[in-house]
Amino acid sequence: MSAKLIKGAEVAAQIRDELKKEVDELKAKHNITPGLVTILVGEDPGSVSYVTAKQKTAHELGFYSVQDNQPPTIAEAELLGLIEKYNKDPKIHGILVQLPLPKTIDTNKVLYAIDPNKDVDAFHPVNVGRILIGQYAFLPCTPAGCQELIVRSFGDPKGKEVVVVGRSNIVGKPMVAIMLQKLPGANATVTCVHTGTPKDRMIEHCRRADILIVAAGVPKYVQADWVKEGACVIDVGVNRIGISEKTGKAILAGDVDFDAVKEKAAFITPVPGGVGPMTITMLMKNTVMAAKLAAGLIKI
Ligand code: NAP
């Protein structure tokens, strides 16, 4: 059996179409235009390309969008002042600070200064807590993207065995919290394995998984004999394993031994092209939710 590929770009495009309709309706019925500011400190090429892509998508969806570029020498106090300005700006519903920040700046201090209702990355401890107790308006982008991929390919995870490999604050832990929610699109039995899990036990847990979500940062880690026949495998990993002689570009691999695992799974995300394309779209979804929250159209 060869697995059906879950194509992130196609799912993301579908969600953006849905969002565009929602944005048009928010404008027409409620006179609300979702507003997003992306703050870039310095000129790291990777960060520049990320914020450019985020702004482009925001523009295509008809958002009010602001790109705020700051020099790498900006003082922490000045950056905090800028966050405060956007916290108070009623036209801005989502504030995104592109990471990494220069070493002279305390990243957590900056992220925690963002109004939790405008924290569209959902990294603020208030949002982390809200998600855990099931009272939230938006979810961290990467695990939220994984949930969309699962629901729109495999189907509702309700009652299924979900195993998450990895427990980072940005992927593994929120993924566990999302899949645990007593809500449609979740309500699963969730296990999380990590470096504290003995390897033989980890393999046993993975073999039980109807849905296996891997975010370990170890190239081609999950082997075919760890995967249940017919499982849905979501590979979050993005690892550079070399440089292509032909193109000079990085060769990427996920955390799953794709070629072997695809013969066992029923659904699988490729790397690249699986989870990656979802992240920016989920950021846009969060900004729409933040705009609705600010307008009182939804409540936490
Ligand atoms: P991270 O912060 O390094 O966390 C990795 C997690 O995996 C940790 O909890 C670690 O356990 C666990 N782990 C590491 N080696 C393991 C092993 N051999 N067996 C079991 N567990 C192991 O990484 P992350 O930020 O979660 O990212 C994970 C991967 O996803 C990376 O490849 C990253 O590039 C990728 N990523 C992709 C996207 C995207 O949009 N596609 C977004 C974010 C991340 P301990 O806690 O015990 O150390």
Would residue 136 count as lying in a domain? Answer: no
Domain assignment present for residue 238? The answer is: yes
pLDDT in tens, 28-71: 999 999 999 999 999 999 999 999 999 999 999 999 999 999 99
Give the Å distance between the CA of 228 and the centre of ligand 1.
22
The answer to whether residues 89 and 156 belong to one domain is: no
Q: Give CA–CA dist 237/220, Å, rounded.
A: 9
Closest Cα to atom 21 of ligand 1: 194
Is 135 labeled as catalytic in the residue annotation? no
CATH of the domain at 57: 3.40.50.10860
Same domain, 99 and 156: no
Residue 90 lies in a domain: yes
What mean pLDDT is predicted for residues 158-169?
A: 98
Is pTM, for the whole model, over 0.75?
yes
Catalytic residue flag (residue 91): no
Q: For residue 121, indicate whether it is catalytic.
A: yes
% the chain with pLDDT above 70: 100
267 and 157 within one domain: yes
Note whether 263 and 222 are within 8 A (CB): no
pLDDT recorded at residue 1: 62
Closest residue by Cα to atom 45, ligand 1, is 195
CA of 216 to the centre of ligand 1 (A): 3
Does residue 124 form part of some domain? no
Whether 249 and 181 map to the same domain: the answer is yes
Structural domain harbouring 86: 31-116
- Are residue 162 and residue 245 in the same domain, yes or no? yes
Which atom of ligand 1 approaches the CA of 217 most closely? 32
CB-based pocket (< 6 A), ligand 1? 142, 165-168, 170-172, 193-196, 215-218, 236-239, 275-276, 279
